[in-house]
Amino acid sequence: MSINDEHLADIKSILGSKGWKEDADELLPYLHEWRDRWQGQTPLLALPDSTKKTSELVSFCARHSIKITPQGGNTGLVGGQIPQGELLLSTKCLSRIHTLDVENATLTLEAGVTLAEARAAAREAGLLFPLSLASEGTATIGGVLSTNAGGMEVLRYGNTRDLTLGLEVVTATGDVWSALNGLRKDNTGYDLKHLFIGAEGTLGIITAAVLKLFPEPPIRKSAWCGLTSVKDAILLLALMRAKTGNALSKFELIPQIGVDYTVKNVPGNQAPLAKPSPWQIFVEFGFFDQTQADGLVEAVLSEAMEQGLVEDAVIAQSHTQAEAFLRLRESLSAAQKNEGAALKHDISVPVSSLARFIDEASGEAIRIVPNCRVFAFGHVGDGNVHFNILQPPGMDPDEFTRQGARLTQAVYDRVSALGGSVSAEHGIGILKKPELLTQKSDVEMQLMRAVKTALDPDNIMNPRVLF
């Protein structure tokens, strides 16, 4: 049912005078996606400031079949948070940190708290919440849960799903399901939280969560390595894991073109290695023991050189140098901006198939568009690579974009052949709906639809997303 003036008046009264906005200028930042890909529209922005009000609002919407788009920080990259006529429900005012339990190593907080605020709260108590994204100043806990966000330390700590112990959810019928118990063991039937994590707002509104905290390793060591192949990068990963155990926290692949374009296009960066190497690895370790930290990284790099896996390496000698390595890695997306049209794919394959994937997908891309520039980088430790293809220098960008569908199909065919996923991070949203259908089996789609129908029978929660 479409929303009418009477509904709007009732919704405003549920939310109270400060709990909504409808002025076009005030709504603008909520309706614009940061890369300008989607422009939305909504009859009203709802800003409930409690679970109770969220529940009353969703109950009202369920009774009147009013569709809802949930939004956290609006940093999602697949369009799921931008309404097209639905009521927009922002969690911005659900912004309280409830408790930090040091002995249980858990943080209980509302969904609208930003990731940066959550990390700061943990840090203040001498603990670590290890999820970290470039968007963390704006991305919210509800958003990272709903997209099961990853980041650079998945290798050591897991993704958001692995970092969550409990949830509170307002279901699509407006009921409140509260399981903010912080239990590490609970074998009492279906683990419902996993349905809502990664659901992109299609099953209910996450209003609060219990997150896992960890001791913060006091000593961080990082290094930059030059390699001749992705195959050697995979062998290096195995060697580092075997020799340093759980200390390895970041293992990021960067192509030489990535270093070149970052130095050229993003001020303040310089190449870490004296000579170019086709592939480079940025690694970071977190240690609790100084003696271990002092010798181990040098020893493992020497062994890697003896085995011929690494041709050159620099260990950061200061905090400033370590920060410079990290900055270069974080600048890789911005580095591509001045290089014309780009086609981006955020995929994953089993780590053991990654070298083969990059090799075969690069070959296919060059066969379809000769001289295109493959710019593949990412979280190799998770089998997750940002497989980007830049237009050949001097080519008309529109002509390159016209080849986009063929290039993407070729990339996804390789992903599929190697048992991978077309969305390693970010989710499906609006952007990747067609790919979801080609990737999942009929049985899997039927099961997903059955879950959606059971939990959201009137299809009011983010109705254009996923299906």
Ligand X SMILES: Cc1cc2nc3c(=O)[nH]c(=O)nc-3n(C[C@H](O)[C@H](O)[C@H](O)COP(=O)(O)OP(=O)(O)OC[C@H]3O[C@@H](n4cnc5c(N)ncnc54)[C@H](O)[C@@H]3O)c2cc1C
For ligand X, the closer CB: 56 or 232: 56
Nearer to ligand X, 143 or 420 (CB): 143
Q: How far is CA 24 from CA 12, 28, 79, in A?
A: 16, 6, 20
Both tokens of residue 12? 């405003």
Q: Is 91 in the site for ligand X (CB under 6 A)?
A: yes
Per-state percent for the chain, helix, strand, coil, to nearest 5? 40, 20, 40
| Residues 193 and 164: beta-carbon distance below 8 Å | yes
For ligand X, which is the closer residue by CB, 34 or 214?
34
Q: Pick from 21, 32, 34, 366: which binds ligand X (CB under 6 A)?
A: 34
For residues 422-451, which are near ligand X according to CB under 6 A?
425-426, 429
Cα radius of gyration rounded to whole Å, the chain: 23
Kindly determine how many residues on this chain lie close enough to bind ligand X according to the rule CB under 6 A: 36
40 contributes a contact to ligand X by CB under 6 A: no
C-alpha 153/C-alpha 303 separation (Å) is 24
User: Should residue 322 be labelled a site residue for ligand X when binding is judged by CB under 6 A?
Assistant: no
The verdict on 464 binding ligand X (CB under 6 A) reads no
Q: Single out the segment in contact with ligand X by CB under 6 A; choices: 129-137, 316-324, 365-373, 452-460.
A: 129-137
CB nearer to ligand X: pick between 137 and 397? 137
Footprint (CB under 6 A) of ligand X, residues 193-252: 200-201, 205-206
Say which amino acid occupies 250. K
Report in angstroms how near the CB of residue 79 gets to ligand X at its nearest.
8
Among candidate residues 33, 66, 81, the one with its CA nearest the CA of residue 464:
81
Counting every residue written for the chain, the total comes to: 467
Least separation in angstroms between residue 78's CB and ligand X is 8
Residue 255 sits in the site that holds ligand X (CB under 6 A): no
Q: Is 48 in the site for ligand X (CB under 6 A)?
A: no
Rule CB under 6 A: say whether 75 interacts with ligand X: yes
Decide: residue 63, CB within 10 A, 0-12 exposed, 13-18 middle, 19+ buried: exposed
> Does residue 76 bind ligand X (CB under 6 A)?
yes
Whose tokens are 């070298």? That residue is 355
Q: Residue for token digits 């009202």?
A: 60
Task: Yes or no: say if 4 and 45 are a contact pair by the CB < 8 Å rule.
Answer: no
| Minimum CB distance to ligand X, residue 400 (Å) | 24
Give the x/- contact pattern for ligand X in 137-176, rule: CB under 6 A: --xx-xxx-xx-xxx-------------------------
Output 30 or 400, the one with its CB closest to ligand X: 30
The interface region with ligand X, picked from 68-76, 172-180, 246-254, 272-280 by CB under 6 A, is: 68-76
Question: 312 - beta bridge partners?
Answer: 226
Q: Give the CA distances from residue 416 to residues 18, 378, 387, 410, 436, in Å, rounded to whole numbers and listed in that order.
A: 49, 19, 14, 10, 11
> Least distance in Å: CB of 112 to ligand X?
7
CB atoms within 10 A of CB 28: 11
List 42, 81, 280, 423, residue binding ligand X (CB under 6 A):
81
131 touches 141 (CB < 8 A): no
Closest CB to ligand X among 43 and 150? 150
Among 55, 108, 135, 353, binds ligand X (CB under 6 A): 135
Which residue number, 200 or 364, has a Cβ lying nearer to ligand X? 200
DSSP letter at 216 equals P
Instruction: Say if CB 461 and CB 68 are below 8 A apart.
Output: yes
Residues that bind ligand X (CB under 6 A): 34, 69-77, 80-81, 91, 111, 133-135, 139-140, 142-144, 146-147, 149-151, 200-201, 205-206, 425-426, 429, 462, 465
